[in-house]
A and B are shown apart, each in its own frame.
Chain A
């Protein structure tokens, strides 16, 4: 029922973030202050991770003991719910990017938790479940939705929701009402003919009919709201930042996390470019406010700047759309970014030549471009931006840069742009443990060792440096329970462990664990390499089939199969494919209406015997975002085909489909959308 509005004006009578936060603080004094009392649940995303980190730091400073739990998906959430429901102390539960679509007050979720427990929902996903926002009743009072000012625009939906809810309760109480309604239904069918029967009944049923028409209208409106597709509102981290400003406790660390949350949303194509720019304005004001003493800005990558040892300031900067350009080499950074890929079609030999040609035209020798970026010639680096501006448009590379921020890390690390950190932390979330990735060793190229080495990436462990590390426990003896179920359980257990580990690795990297952050960059490169390798393979092998309503790619084998079984990596591949093939597809469909079809991509998850299916909607222009309607499409396809699917993550456009049912499922999906 309760929704909070952002604290725009302090004398606002409505409930704001501040009231909610103060309530949490007040509970600390009146009720038990134990870590079991305040529990933060965070989804495995960079955005919620940032938000979690921010909220935790606010709570720490206020001396509120709390507990943080990462939650990968619905199964984990249900398990955790069971565990929490037993707790006597719990009074505040914060959901970060979790569950805005769920009817949280229902018995299936947190209805049983009782009056004492407040459930705060901070979720950027739209649409939201209306009962959470507008529902009334005791259990609904406990749900607190942190809104970004959008609810005010939902007046019609609100009315529709309230009307329909009360209407339903009316019809329940009156038995004869149903009968008459049935008759009314008949009338509707004959409506067009205008039978005399209708006239006869008109007087009696007029009021009722009107009401029912109204109700249909309301239902239609609700339906429209829910089926509009998944989109994203204000980032979770942004919401917490608003809270921090209202508390007058905003500082550089919090601001940086908020910027990361926003950048993550932008890079993963969740928000439009215009929305991004709007938010960018807000944050750049904040950056200017909090970093007054930092003179000068970084105008382009690699410009010399004055650094001091303790400089951790944030500066606005113009970022080129090249992947991790400061840490990779120029050629790879360009080749591995979807932006360049789409313009130059660099997945084939011709496109690669074009890329080389462009660099040659700019006067950049290939040898220099293969050099690690920091070791490139200074004058080349300095002239890079101007050269790019001159020559890139020739190759269709327009809008080469976007506004972003860079943060310094003193002498410990080169300044990192927000995008760099998002990539690094994202890579940690996806692949820190659980999958094997080869990362390139530094100095392997451009006059380095002959065989540029690579090694398997490993999470730097806590016990690093200790000589006697405890040995891994020997595999459990499989005497009695070698049944399949036991194996399954074991596998799940293992999987669970590694995503928990990944979450904390990423969490630590965000907390200025510089070493980890630095190590995450090669991992991000390796991950991107794998994505591009798989993507180009799909394109060049013509493995992408087209149905009437979407394009489809299925990955059944390959070296990186285990990698793409991770839903968010697969989503990134899908987004990359959409980006990379955007111009290509548009030029192919000359005769037809220029329309970019959504992309569905399925990847085999071998050990589970399932396929992970991800759907992304492609927008015609780069930086544009269309709502993702695959949530409902997937549900419908499941119901019609009878395929066994399950939703593992909170991402609504990801499902896991059993191996045998995949074909059926995709067929139905194609039919449905057509």
Chain B
């Protein structure tokens, strides 16, 4: 089974999980598998048709001959396996994309440039819609709780000391305009710069 494309796909998933990186969408293998499924399905239909006695549709034979039984079961299991592999692959990718989106604070515009070439077109639609739905849901109680905020590192306080990693320029915050320049350190409200911290323009110093 080493040449089995499905196996390759599973291996890819596994590596991707272990290294926590998104690999490009493997459209070629996915198409191959789908084609495989179609072929096997054709075989299955063919073998079943050939086994059925012609013209006797009203009273089908209770059990087909063992040879037909064996082939069709085999084909059926093959199809099921391939289907599961495809499901696993896509579920893995969607999970990955979702977690990436959450890490990027639900900012599709920030996330996309880096991962754009890795996505298939339907995945693209998915994260766009997902972000949109999530934003709509979040907006209902954003004043009380920000469910998009990360919880692995709870904030220590309202204020945070940041240094500028990449020149940002002027940023409009709730209180006014901040001009982030390289070389200086700024004490700012955490909420104001959360986005910039996530995007890597600023860095927290203790």
Contacts and interface: CB of A to CB of B under 8 A. Distances in A.
Interface in B143-175: 158-159, 161, 163, 173, 175
B184 interface: yes
A68 B186 CA distance: 6
Interface string A482-516: 00000000000000100010001001100100000
Given A34-B173, A34-B176, A70 B159 contact: no
A64 B189 CA distance: 10
Contacts of B181: 83
Contacts of B177: 32, 34, 36, 87-89
A215 B40 CA distance: 111
Binding site secondary structure of chain B: strand
Interface in B164-203: 173, 175-179, 181, 183-189, 203
Contacts of A496: 183
Given A60-B159, A63-B158, A63-B159, A69 B176 contact: no
B27 interface: no
A34 B184 contact: no
Contact of B187 (A60, A83, A89): A60
A367 B159 CA distance: 53
Interface string A61-81: 001111111100000000000
B205 interface: yes
A285 to B, nearest CB: 32
Nearest to A507: B185
Contacts of B187: 35, 56, 59-60, 64-67
A508 B206 CA distance: 8
A496 B182 CA distance: 11
A226 B189 CA distance: 45
B202 to A, nearest CB: 11
A34 B171 CA distance: 10
Interface string A292-332: 00000000000000000000000000000000000000000
A511 to B, nearest CB: 8
B183 A35 contact: no
A66 B189 CA distance: 10
Given A36-B177, A65-B175, A508 B184 contact: no
Between A65, A87, A88, A507, the greatest number of chain B beta carbons within 10 A of the residue's beta carbon is seen for A65
A63 B160 CA distance: 10
A433 to B, nearest CB: 13
A37 interface: yes
A35 B188 contact: yes
A504 B185 contact: yes
Nearest to A34: B176
Given A66-B186, A68-B185, A504-B185, A87 B179 contact: yes
Contacts of A32: 175-177
Contacts of B183: 69-70, 496, 500
Interface string B55-84: 000000000000000000000000000000
Interface in A391-429: none
A370 interface: no
A129 interface: no
A143 B158 CA distance: 32
A504 B178 CA distance: 21
Nearest to B170: A36
Nearest to A89: B176
Interface residues of A, number: 28
B23 to A, nearest CB: 18
A504 B163 contact: yes
A329 B153 CA distance: 44
Contacts of B185: 67-68, 504, 507
B163 A33 contact: no
A528 to B, nearest CB: 29
Given A67-B184, A67-B186, A508-B205, A34 B178 contact: yes
A66 B175 CA distance: 13
A59 B158 CA distance: 14
A20 B163 CA distance: 27
A69 B184 contact: yes
Interface in A79-110: 83, 87-89
Between B163, B177, B185, the greatest number of chain A beta carbons within 10 A of the residue's beta carbon is seen for B185
Contact of B188 (A59, A65, A507, A511): A65
Interface in A509-525: 511
A462 B178 CA distance: 25
A507 B163 CA distance: 13
A500 B46 CA distance: 77
A83 B173 CA distance: 19
Nearest to B158: A63
Contact of A35 (B158, B186, B206): B186
Contacts of B176: 32-34, 36-37, 89
A68 B181 CA distance: 11
Contacts of B158: 63
Nearest to A37: B176
A462 B173 CA distance: 28
Between B177, B181, B183, B203, the greatest number of chain A beta carbons within 10 A of the residue's beta carbon is seen for B183
A488 to B, nearest CB: 20
B171 to A, nearest CB: 9
Given A65-B189, A66-B186, A67-B184, A36 B178 contact: yes
A65 B176 CA distance: 11
Contacts of B184: 67-70
A87 B184 CA distance: 15
A82 to B, nearest CB: 12
Contacts of A511: 206
Nearest to A39: B184
A503 to B, nearest CB: 9
A505 to B, nearest CB: 12
Nearest to A69: B184
B186 A65 contact: yes
Contact of A33 (B175, B205, B206): B175
Interface string A129-166: 00000000000000000000000000000000000000
Contacts of A37: 176
A66 B177 CA distance: 13
A418 B3 CA distance: 71
B159 to A, nearest CB: 6
Contacts of B163: 504
Contacts of A68: 184-186
Nearest to B157: A60
A57 to B, nearest CB: 10
Contacts of B205: 508
A469 to B, nearest CB: 14
Nearest to A83: B181
Nearest to B185: A68
Contacts of A33: 175-176
A511 B203 CA distance: 17
A83 to B, nearest CB: 7
Nearest to B179: A36
A25 to B, nearest CB: 14
A69 B185 CA distance: 7
Contacts of A69: 183-184
Interface string A34-49: 1111000000000000
Contacts of B203: 462
A59 B189 CA distance: 13
Nearest to A38: B187
A349 to B, nearest CB: 48
Nearest 8 pairs of A and B residues by beta carbon: A32-B176, A34-B176, A35-B186, A69-B184, A500-B183, A33-B175, A34-B175, A67-B186
12 contacts: A32-B176, A32-B177, A33-B176, A34-B178, A36-B178, A60-B159, A60-B187, A63-B159, A64-B187, A67-B185, A69-B183, A87-B179
Given A56-B187, A64-B187, 12 more contacts: A34-B177, A34-B188, A35-B188, A36-B176, A59-B187, A60-B161, A65-B159, A65-B175, A65-B186, A69-B183, A89-B177, A462-B203
